[in-house]
Homo-oligomer: A and B are copies of this chain.
Amino acid sequence: MTSGRSSRGGAPTTEGVSRTASAKAPERGIPEATVARLPVYLRALITLSDREIATCSSEELAAAAGVNSAKLRKDLSYLGSYGTRGVGYDVEYLRYQIAREIGVTQDWPVVIVGIGNLGHALANYSGFSSRGFRIVALLDSDPARHGEPLGDRFIRDFADLETIVREHDVAIGVIATPAHAAQDVCDRLVACGVTSILNFAPSVLSVPEGVDVRKVDLSIELQILAYHEQRKSAAYDADALTEPEIAAAVVESA
């Protein structure tokens, strides 16, 4: 079955057609690296907005976002020309434009599957709701957990998935189950019409064409840090030394 996703799409408009067909830059195909930074810029703009800063330069916004300003300007140029030369960017205007581009000006119903420790943390995470993500169900296959209150919802049976997805037109699912259950849960989500999955389980999911999976793996992040940490600690290991350092080390150990 397919989900009711079509309700999100608009009908083709003449403006749209002429814009796409025009000789002007197509505004399409934003690079993945840029897409991944747009939410970072959005967050930085929200911070500036909260401080009631009306205008900022690319230099200031880049600093707030933790990137270099050339990269920021290049990224923004894929969206359009939303700045004013000699002046900078209007914080509210740019904030809206980026939010619209990402899609967080609309409402995204989300289901979370697997309500262990991590699922609890996700259910209580305020960063979701503040960005258009609305948790419509917390699902777990363990009957002992059904009915348990969590945030402003109750934990429900994973068997209710299809009903819930259809009822709320859910496009995004979050998997926070143990690794061994993740692929099954994923298959069920996909079968119900969910086409975007955020996977916290430490397993590789296989999905059909057209379904996006993003993975967050806590232990992998820590291992990447360990790799670099090991090399810092190894500053006195000869393996890691540059020629002059070797000379110094050899003298030292003599």
A21 to B216, CA, bound (A): 40
Indicate if A40 sits at the interface (CB-CB under 8 A).
Answer: yes
A204 in complex: contacting residue of B64, B108, B226, CB < 8 Å: B64
Contact A223 B131 (CB under 8 A): yes
Residues of B within 8 A of A122 (CB): 218
A13 to B233, CA, bound (A): 16
- In chain A, positions 227-251 with a C-beta closer than 8 Å to chain B are 227-230, 232-241, 243, 246, 249-250
Contact B233 A5 (CB under 8 A): yes
Contact B172 A226 (CB under 8 A): yes
Contact B103 A230 (CB under 8 A): yes
Copy number in the complex reads: 2
A128 to B223, CA, bound (A): 9
Indicate if A42 sits at the interface (CB-CB under 8 A).
Answer: yes
Q: Give the interface SS of chain A, mostly helix, strand, loop or mixed.
A: helix
- In chain A, positions 155-198 with a C-beta closer than 8 Å to chain B are 171-172, 174, 195-198
A174 to B226, CA, bound (A): 12
Interface locus among A68-76, A86-94, A113-121, A139-147: A113-121
Indicate if A84 sits at the interface (CB-CB under 8 A).
Answer: no
Residues of B within 8 A of A116 (CB): 121
- Chain A interface residue count: which class? 35 or more
A124 to B119, CA, bound (A): 12
Contact B39 A219 (CB under 8 A): yes
A106 to B21, CA, bound (A): 59
Contact with B along A91-133 (1 / 0, CB 8 A): 0000000000111101010100000111011101101101111
CB distance from A171 to the nearest CB of B (A): 5
Indicate if A221 sits at the interface (CB-CB under 8 A).
Answer: yes
Contact with B along A12-44 (1 / 0, CB 8 A): 110111011100000110000001101110111
A38 to B224, CA, bound (A): 8
A229 in complex: contacting residue of B17, B212, B238, CB < 8 Å: B212
Contact A226 B9 (CB under 8 A): no
